[in-house]
Structures are given as C-alpha cells and as structure tokens.
Amino acid sequence: MSRDRLWELLADRATQGLSESEARELDTLLAQYPDIDPDSMDLAAAAVDLAIAAGAEPMPALLKSRIAATLDDAPAPVAVIGRRSIAGYIGWAVAAACLAIAIGAWWPSFKPSPSLAEQRQSLLSRADTIKGPWGEWSDESVKSEVPGVRGEVIWNESEQRGFMTFTGLPAKDPSKEVYQLWIIDERGMGQRISGAIFDAAGTGEVIVPISPRIKTKNAAAFAVTIEEPGGTWVSDMKRRVVIALPKKG
C-alpha cells in the first residue's frame, strides 16, 4: 500500500469508476493518508470534461512522446492525471490542457510533506501530548490474535490527532480484513470511537496516523481489533490485537 497507489485509485475513480474491492481499498488508503484531498482527481476530471466538450483532433505522435517524458519528472498527482489523459485517448488538446491545469494548480504550491516520523516527533515534543506502550489484549474469555506486537500510542487531545507505532504487526489483505483502532474516552466502551483503519507492512516499524471520526473527550484507552474490509461503525471487539493506556510524561 502506498501514496502512489492512492493517487492511481483516485484517478481511476474519476475517469472510469472503481470495483467494490477497489473502493474498499481506496477508503483504507484515504484513512491512512489524511493529508491527501479525496476530491482532487474528480476536480481535474471535471476540467477535462469541459475541454472534451469542445472536441479535439488526434494527438501528434511527437507531442504525445514529449508529454509522456515530462510526466516522468512530474509530482505524483500530475503524473497520474496526465497518464490517464493520454491512455484514455481524449485528444492532444485535452491532454495538454489537463497537464497544464494540473501543473499550474500543483507546482507553485508544491512542498515536500513532512514524513509521518517527522509529524509524530513534532507532536511528541508538545507538553500536552500523552503516550503509552501497547500491551497484549487478552483475558480469560478472549485472547489476542496477534501476540508479541510492540510499539506505542501518542495522542494530543487539543489537536485531536496522534500516531501509533507497531513492530511485529503482520500485514493483512485489505480485501479480506483490516486493522481498526478504537478510542475509549470518558463516555466509556459503549461509545467507543473509530480512530483509524489501516494495514501493516509486516516487517520493520509501522507508523499510523490517528484521526477520529468524531471528537473525543479525555481519551483514555486505545485498542486495535481486526475487522472486515473498510472497517465498521460498531465492533463486537472479539478479534483483539493490542491495547494501550497512554499518560503524560
């Protein structure tokens, strides 16, 4: 799973639609990369539709090859939009217009986004950020399905965001099942809040951003379960992984 795959799915959705499994994969990736605008490709496709309405002649071969070469050095969203334009045979004028729109909108404001590790470190430096290690989430009735997972949670209540780190978390096939984070705050387990839907690389350390669907109130516990593709609004919490009780200091 990667940012490039997310851009590819957004472009496919805007130009040709997605299958049910691809739509679920897109939802999972959007949750993993909240900094990416989910509507960016749809807006670019709308601009292309307007250009198509005016008609266009076949693209000259030389221009087509030059545009393709330009795309190799373009930022990911520009490259994906441009390649979809050429691959879809929408005409040389439209392809050129699409590329110009994408570059004009993207390039002046393009700045490398801070990595997840950098964002996490910045949040961790704040005095009001809490943190805590993962512990195996088992009791007499239910055992953790993934023992031996290590890492921690950091959370900032005022900013309503945080990060999870994992080592030893096996990768999942998002078309079959995903990991989901649940935040338990002062309202109790009965009103637990979904904080992330994600996968894991299976090797090395994994960093996952936390972005709750609704505002938390004094978050106290963070628990990870295994759920169906796309996650769920209400979990029975039976497929357990790990739990953390972060504190200050």
Report CA-CA distances (Å) from 30 to 26, 58, 110.
6, 35, 20
The pLDDT, as a whole number, for residue 164 is 97
Domain boundary among 75, 91, 109: 109
239 and 123 in one domain? yes
In a domain, 249, yes or no: no
Judge if 58 and 82 occupy the same domain.
yes
pLDDT for position 30: 83
Residue 236 and residue 194 share a domain: yes
At 8 the pLDDT is 80
pLDDT of residue 116: 92
232 and 128 both lie in a single domain? yes
pLDDT at 213: 86
Q: pLDDT averaged over the chain?
A: 78
Taken in order 188, 194, 195, 200, the sign of the CA dihedral is positive
Q: Which of 109, 125, 145 is the last residue of a domain?
A: 109
Q: Which of 147, 138, 127, 134 is nearest to 208 (CA)?
A: 134
Which residues of the chain fall short of a pLDDT of 50?
1, 56, 71, 77-82, 84-94, 101, 103, 105-110
Statement to judge: residues 58 and 125 lie in one domain: no
Q: In terms of domains, do 125 and 231 share one?
A: yes
The predicted structure's pLDDT at residue 5: 80
Same domain, 239 and 125: yes
Domain of residue 14: give its range. Answer: 3-109
Distance CA 118, CA 197 (A): 21
Domain end marker among 47, 80, 109: 109
pTM above 0.75, yes or no: no
Strands (E) located in 79-124: none
Interaxial angle between packed helices 3-15 and 20-32, expressed in degrees from 0 to 180 and rounded to the nearest 10: 130
Kind of pairing between the strands at 150-156 and 193-198: unpaired
State how many domains the chain has.
2
Do residue 140 and residue 175 come from a single domain?
Answer: yes
Q: What is the pLDDT of residue 100?
A: 53
